[in-house]
Chain A
């Protein structure tokens, strides 16, 4: 416990100092709240509109989790499929990369046009965002199993299915998690973009509304929640990774913070 504090207090101190500086500047230069609210004003506003914020947060969270779950599942499935069917991979992989080059800010309105205003276009957008890093990481992980281990398994007579299940799949898990973490980091912000483009609830919608009304404290309050959500999702994935990869030697986990 004591050790943890020792490791974290420098960054905590810097954060606190920055917040104080911010609040100080807002007071000293007498900056208007609609232009730049201080931390105190943001906290006050957050408390004041808490029920509404909570409702929008719930909508964003639902969208994020659903899109993330579907997108990463699809990514894992396609990664496996491409690994097991190299012919399919060679013919389809370039298309996959191409699909990632269309900016989501363009894709959003198109999807809206095609799929209407409901939940569907937003989910599809999120699935597209989460899918790519996960499928690439999965494919790379499956393909990089140690050749001496593969040889050993073949020599003792293991079939392709056994090698896939007992060797390639577990070997791919660390790589898969780096994809899952990237997808987690992108998914909340992508949900915000999706809601920005067209929605009647969610934090993205709420920010847009507040910005139009020059209600800067509300924008900041929403941003604060978005950051927290992102960190929470990323943290959950990192925790799952730690639990699942207990077999790895400690030293490869990065060990102590500098």
Chain B
């Protein structure tokens, strides 16, 4: 069976005022049908950059993107996307925002409207369908933003730190909520996250990348059965895996030979 997404040896360097900076130094990953994959890496390692390449916003310096076996490097409009900030258009109602995303993805207007209202009802936001986004709390905005991605008729959902801006409690509730919704639909998902717990709770597989210039440090299958819930947090194996990944990231974080000290101590 062909993978929904294959990123093959993706390289990206930026020209930062004359000095070339290498951000991605050959990152490969794949997402199979119905698979939930998390991309875990330190801040600034190039995770969002990789998303921009998958989304066709950036042309990579090297490597190629395949979707369903077809080379689509640089093509836009093939993924459903949930950005880090909710990014709802303030002049459209909540339902209007969802409808716009669906229309961009090629859904007919009437069908988009029906879907938006049906699903807002289902996630208990029907009362806000015709309100403007600014009256929603941060958590509610993220739910709308996720719904917008979920309803786009595209084979792969890319979620860029969807809960990064939320407080710990809301974040936990949102993870639970997303898990429930996702387990009903089983779409292919690629999730960017900083949080080891989040990755372990949600995904089938975790890809750990290093700081820039980023390479894949490690890839592991998450062995827990579904459906999952937060009781997983007390599982000894959960903690073992958490320690293992934490160790990987810390190792990567350790500087090479210590820099030479300035004068004084000589």
Point out residues on A near B: beta carbons under 8 Å: 148-149, 151-158, 162, 166-167, 170-171, 173, 247-249
Contacts and interface: CB of A to CB of B under 8 A. Distances in A.
Contacts of A154: 55, 57, 76
B182 interface: no
Contacts of B56: 155, 157
A158 B83 CA distance: 15
B104 A153 contact: yes
B101 to A, nearest CB: 6
Given A151-B83, A155-B52, A167-B89, 19 more contacts: A148-B83, A149-B89, A151-B52, A153-B104, A155-B55, A155-B56, A155-B76, A155-B79, A155-B81, A156-B77, A156-B80, A156-B104, A166-B89, A170-B89, A170-B91, A171-B91, A247-B134, A248-B90, A249-B134
Among B92, B104, B152, max chain A CB count under 10 A is at B104
Given A151-B83, A152-B83, A247-B91, A157 B78 contact: yes
A72 to B, nearest CB: 21
Interface string B42-78: 0000000001100111000000000000000000111
Given A151-B57, A249-B134, A157 B105 contact: yes
22 contacts: A148-B83, A148-B87, A149-B87, A151-B57, A151-B83, A152-B87, A153-B104, A154-B57, A155-B51, A155-B56, A155-B76, A156-B101, A156-B105, A157-B76, A157-B104, A157-B105, A166-B89, A167-B89, A173-B91, A247-B91, A247-B134, A248-B90
Contacts of B222: none
B68 to A, nearest CB: 16
Nearest to B84: A148
B176 interface: no
B85 interface: yes
Contacts of A173: 91
B132 interface: yes
Contacts of B79: 155-156
Interface residues of B, number: 25
B241 interface: no
B100 A166 contact: yes
B187 to A, nearest CB: 15
A157 B54 CA distance: 12
A247 B80 contact: no
Chain B interface SS verdict (over half): loop
Contacts of A166: 89, 100
A104 B50 CA distance: 56
A7 B107 CA distance: 50
Nearest to B160: A155
Question: Considering the complex of A and B, which 6 residue pairs feature the smallest CB-CB distances, nearest first?
Answer: A157-B77, A155-B55, A152-B87, A247-B91, A157-B76, A155-B81
A132 to B, nearest CB: 26
Nearest to B51: A155
A158 B51 CA distance: 16
Which interface residue of A151, A173, A247 has the most chain B CB atoms within 10 A?
Answer: A247
A156 B81 contact: yes
A249 B91 CA distance: 10
Q: Which of A149, A155, A166, A249: most chain B Cβ within 10 A?
A: A155
Contacts of A171: 91
Interface string B129-154: 00010100000000000000000100
A219 B105 CA distance: 63
B87 A247 contact: no
A154 B83 CA distance: 12
Nearest to A173: B91
Given A154-B57, A155-B76, A249-B134, A148 B100 contact: no
A233 B83 CA distance: 43
A152 B132 contact: no
Given A157-B104, A157-B105, A152 B90 contact: no
A159 to B, nearest CB: 9
Contacts of A247: 90-92, 132, 134
Given A148-B85, A162-B104, A156 B152 contact: yes
A30 B55 CA distance: 82
A158 B100 CA distance: 10
B74 to A, nearest CB: 12
Contacts of B100: 166
B83 A155 contact: yes
Nearest to B75: A157
A171 B80 CA distance: 24
B193 to A, nearest CB: 18
Contact of B104 (A149, A151, A158): A158
A173 B51 CA distance: 32
A3 B80 CA distance: 49
Contacts of A167: 89
